[in-house]
Chain A
Amino acid sequence: MANREYTVPQLFKHIETPKIEPNSMQLPGPFKAKSNHQQTLGFPSELIDNWQQNAIDAMGQAVNQSRGLRVFLDSCVKCGACTDKCHYYLGSADPKNMPVARQDLFRNVYRKYHTPAGRFLSKLGLDWLIGGQEMNRSVLDDWYNYYHQCSECRRCTVYCPYGIDTSEITMAARNIMSQIGVGQKYSTEVISKVYQVGNNLGLPEAALQNTLEGLEEDIEEETGIFVKLPLDQVGADILLVAPSADFFAEPHVDGLIGYAKVLHESGISWTFSSKASEAANFGLFIGNEDSMRKIALRIREAAIDLGVKRIIFGECGHAWRVAYNYLETLAGPFDFLDKNHPMPQHICEFTHDLIQRNQLTLDPSRNNDKTVTFHDSCNVARASNMGGISGGQFSIPRDIIKAVCNRYVDMAKDTIHGATFCCGGGGGLLTDDLMEVRVKGALPRMTALNNVVEEQGVTHMAAICAICKSQFSKILPVYGMDMDMIVSLHQLVGTAIILTGQKKTIHQKIENQHRLL
């Protein structure tokens, strides 16, 4: 199941709607889950006997539990508004990557088994009249393949006149597949590591401690100031929950250094937790509420154990979606926290507040080697808010960048804010066995970026999501751009901050000199 040979899409001036190429992405799908990971998550280790009936029953349960899902399945009028909105369709031309077609893989089975008309017509052998589809091996193969060519980004939903949320259908399909023993290797392995070690990477406490100490040395070497990166500090005011990639990868770690500098300057005590050493919640990606809850509860337990008053999330797109929308339901009530602060709070909200109150000494000229643009991460843009103001999730990150950089440029209007394009690697697709899907799905974002590079001299693109950063590090060179173009938003902040007591003449280590992943 290694990646096949494929052609990298060409960048044009505009994001073109391609002529359809049926079945061009008819692939085996990502690697299947290992049996031990399936078991860790409470799923059957392999495809079960009588899986067809089990899948049909699980679908019935899903539509009965979620009225939203049933409405999404019932309300499509095939208007076509979504057809050219998905980055995977735009990059691959396979018509099954049109959101309506992706939904229909599920909808047609639903119609046959779970609608009165479908049940009646099935008895007469006439369910084809309403597009009814039997649950069979070919459908399962299409599900596994095409529901892993959706990053659950919800761009199609923005343009759908009925607001049909394809991501909910993708999640439901993945959850049904997990329940009949067909899980995805990447997501189940990652969730297993969260259960067993505490984070997606499997970074044990000793390694985490060692990594944080190394970063303290780096900051001191750079600034001359000792900035503590505390771990499991009982009684700290703030629990900072960051994606584990922030401890590990480039450019993520430069963002983490930025958080540390901001928190240090705030004068408020804070800590990481070895139990909740991960912001991400891949339970969302596989559409499984039990996994989501179990992962979310770690954060609650860590907050109680450490006796913190506030919880702040680092730069992780879907973590913020889960925190903003579901954390209270999954792991609440959080009535033990200080009610004078937002719960949850995003690190961007925290930094923005300090900037507005002139609590940070910033020298934006330190970023004068850059002209920066901002990639709105899909989960932040379309599933959350910041600052409690309309559009705050768009304005707050941009306000921060403008406070720490002198040159800022937006990409084309139909590719930012609520219309943003996914990086191409979200929703559980950030795995090498899906590289073709990731490369093709990045086409619209790469097009928009390339335009501002050529027309406005943009040198860097900032993001606030670990997946986006890793995806772009990998994909930018494929499209002929430099991998170092992608930066963490708080990396820009960290570069511009002058710490209290820091001599302004100290040589700054500009940016990440070592990029690895």
Chain B
Amino acid sequence: MSLDVNGVIYETDEEGYLANLNDWTMSIAKAQADKDGAELEDAHWEVIHFLREYYNEYQISPAVRILTKAIGKRLGSDKGNSKYLYELFPHGPAKQACKYAGLPKPTGCI
């Protein structure tokens, strides 16, 4: 599977998750969101950038509570909850946001 962004082909897995973390650019995130019919606004980018920062430090995407707490700190406590994150990423914030952030899909008993 692959993703074509402005003529450049990027390798992805069967569900459109980027194969190589270092390939990621904001244009790729936009192209992935376009495919899902989603539009990325400032609030989405806050989540995406936080996920990438956390992944760079810990080699895994953050647990739910860590993500909601961090977003609450950055965007205001009224936004530090999963309801808000679900509004941003209706297909499930962890999986959908990880996809746009170029991170591997979280798997396990989740």
Contact = CB atoms under 8 A, between A and B. Distances in A.
Interface of A: 1-2, 31, 186, 189-190, 193, 199-204, 206-207, 210-211, 214-215, 218, 243-245, 247-250, 252-253, 280, 316, 430-433, 466-467, 470, 474, 512-517
Given A201-B107, A316-B109, A514-B81, A248 B59 contact: no
Interface string B48-68: 000000000111101111111
B60 A517 contact: no
A433 B14 contact: yes
Contact of A243 (B15, B64, B80, B109): B109
Given A1-B14, A206-B58, A211 B66 contact: yes
Given A199-B108, A248-B108, A433-B14, A515 B58 contact: no
A249 B109 CA distance: 9
A201 B110 contact: yes
Given A466-B110, A467-B109, 10 more contacts: A2-B15, A203-B60, A204-B59, A214-B66, A247-B63, A249-B63, A432-B95, A470-B109, A513-B81, A517-B110
A245 B81 contact: no
Contacts of A202: 59-60, 108
Contacts of B107: 186, 189-190, 193, 200-201, 431
Contacts of B82: 250, 512-516
Contact of A517 (B59, B62, B64, B83): B64
B94 interface: yes
23 contacts: A199-B108, A200-B109, A202-B60, A202-B108, A204-B59, A207-B62, A210-B58, A211-B65, A248-B108, A248-B110, A249-B63, A249-B64, A466-B110, A470-B109, A514-B65, A514-B82, A515-B64, A515-B82, A516-B67, A516-B68, A516-B82, A516-B93, A517-B92
Interface string B66-108: 1111000000000011110110000011110000000000111
A42 to B, nearest CB: 20
A249 B110 contact: yes
B109 A466 contact: yes
Given A249-B110, A516-B68, A201 B60 contact: yes
B106 to A, nearest CB: 7
A285 B10 CA distance: 33
Contacts of B57: 206
A211 B63 contact: yes
A204 B80 contact: no
B64 A245 contact: no
| Closest CB pairs A-B (n = 9) | A200-B108, A514-B68, A516-B64, A514-B82, A207-B58, A466-B109, A201-B108, A515-B82, A245-B109
Nearest to A249: B110
B60 A516 contact: no
Contacts of B67: 516
A190 B110 CA distance: 11
Nearest to B84: A514
B63 A430 contact: no
B65 A31 contact: no
Contacts of A2: 14-15
A15 B14 CA distance: 35
A425 to B, nearest CB: 9
Nearest to B97: A516
A355 B57 CA distance: 41
Given A248-B110, A250-B82, A470-B110, A514 B59 contact: no
A184 to B, nearest CB: 12
